[in-house]
Amino acid sequence: MSDLAIKIENVTKIYRLYKKPMDRLKESMSFFRKKEYHHKFYALNNINLEIKKGDSIGIVGKNGSGKSTLLKIIAGVLTQTEGQVMVDGKVSALLELGTGFNPEYTGIENIYANGLIMGYSKEEMDTKLDDIVNFAQIGEYIDQPVKTYSSGMFARLAFATAINVDPEILIVDEVLAVGDAKFQIKCINKMEEFKASGKTVLFVSHTLEQIKRFCTKGVWIDQGEMRMFDDVTHVIDMYESEMLKESMAQKALEEGNSLLEVQELDIHLGKIRTVTCSSEKINTFEDFTVDIDYELFDDYIADPLVGVAFYTIDRQYIFGPNTYLDGLKIPNTKGLHHVRYVVPRLPLLGGKYEVDIGLFANKSIVNLDYKTSAFIIEVVADYFTEGLVHIDHNWEIE
C-alpha cells in the first residue's frame, strides 16, 4: 500500500430485492431448481478508487446513489459482493446517527465501548476520556443513557469520540448536519487539524460549499457508479451543473414538453466542435495558444463562457482561467464561433501536462460541454529549477 490509505478494486455491492416476503421463502425452498424470485439491485457497481494518505476526499451524489454504502464498506460495517478493499490504518467512522452506540448505555459507557471496538484498551481510553468529554460539551448528560439524548447531543458525543481516539482515517457521513452552527465550526476546525497532521478524511455532505472548502479531491457517485474522481472544485462544478440540468428537465416536463424534447435538452444548447493548440511539444517561456471552435444551438444563451484548465499528468490542478472571470464577453448567439486562448511565455517547467477545455453558461453554473484532457502537452525546460511553474523573481545582496 505504501502511500495509499485506501485501495478499492472492482467493488460491487448487490442487494436481492423481493416483491413480497413469501418470494424469499419460495426461493430458499427451490434449491434444486434454482428458481429466482428476486431482482438484483446494484448499490455499487465496479468501483475503483485509490486514496492517498493525507488526502481529504469529498463524496457527492444524490440520495440513494451509493455514497453511504461505499463508506460502510470501507469502515467494515458492510461486506462487498465482489471486489477487494484494502485499508491501511485505524478507521473511525461517523455514519448514521446512532451507529455503534448502545441506547441503554450512558455516554461514558459508549465512549469506552467504541474505544474497545477500535482496539484500544480501557487504560488507553482513560487517557482520552477528558478530551472526548470536553469536546462533546453535553454536561451532566454524559452520565445518562444515550436514548435520552437529542440528535444534536448524540452528534456531539459521536464526533467527539471519533476524532479524539486518534485514527489514521476519519469518515464523516452527514452527521454534522444535525449540529448547531457553532458545533459545526468546531468540528470543521478539528477536522482541519486532523488533515494538517497528514491523516486521511472521507467527507459526505449535501452542503457542497463545505466539501469544496475543506476537501482537496472529489468523488461523484451516481446510481452506484463512479462518474468522476478529480480536483474537488471541478467535481462540484460538474455535479451542480448536472443537478441544474435535471431541474430544468423536470420543469420542462411539468410545463408540458414532450419527453423527447426534455431528453435533448443538453445537446441542443452548445457543443465544443474543435480544439487545437499551437504545439503539443513546447519549451518553457515559449508562447502557447489554444484555438477553440464552439457552436450554440439556441438563439440566446445566457452568459456563455469558455475555460481552459491545466493539470499535471496525475490530475493536480494548476491553473484554470475562463472568459467570464477575465471579463471577456464571447458571442452568445446561435451558430459557430471561435475563440483563441493565448499564454505569452508559458511558465510551466519541464514535464507532461493535461489541458481541459470547457464550455459553460450562466457564469459557469451550467456545463454545456466539457473535454477532459483535450490534449496533452510536453514542456521542455532549458531553465533549470524545481517545481511546476517559473515565478519571476530577483535576488538582492546587501
Q: Residues 134-172: pLDDT tens digits?
A: 888 888 889 999 889 887 888 888 888 888 888 899 998
Beta carbons of 364 and 307 less than 8 angstroms apart: yes
The domain 4-89+168-236 having CATH identifier 3.30.428.10: the answer here is: no
- On the question of pLDDT at 257 being above 70, the answer is no
pLDDT at 42 (0 to 100): 93
Residue 68 vs residue 206, higher pLDDT: 68
Do the domains spanning 4-89+168-236 and 267-380 agree at the CATH topology level?
no
Tens-digit pLDDT profile for residues 267-277: 457 889 999 99
CATH homologous superfamily, domain 267-380: abc- transporter (atp binding component) like domain (2.70.50.60)
> What is the per-residue pLDDT for 292?
96
What integer is the mean pLDDT of 313-331? 91
pLDDT digits (tens, 9 = 90+) for 207-222: 787 788 888 899 999 9
Count the neighbouring beta carbons within 10 Å of the beta carbon of residue 222. 15
pLDDT value at residue 326? 93
Residue 291 and residue 338: Cα distance in Å, rounded?
7
- pLDDT tens by residue, 184-214: 777 778 888 888 888 999 988 877 877 888 8
Q: Are 71 and 93 in contact (CB under 8 A)?
A: yes
Q: What is the pTM of this model?
A: 0.66
Predicted confidence at residue 194, as pLDDT, reads 85
**Domain boundaries in the chain?**
4-89+168-236, 267-380
**Residues 6 or more apart in contact with residue 252 via CB below 8 angstroms:** 261, 262, 265
- C-alpha cell belonging to residue 31: 434449491
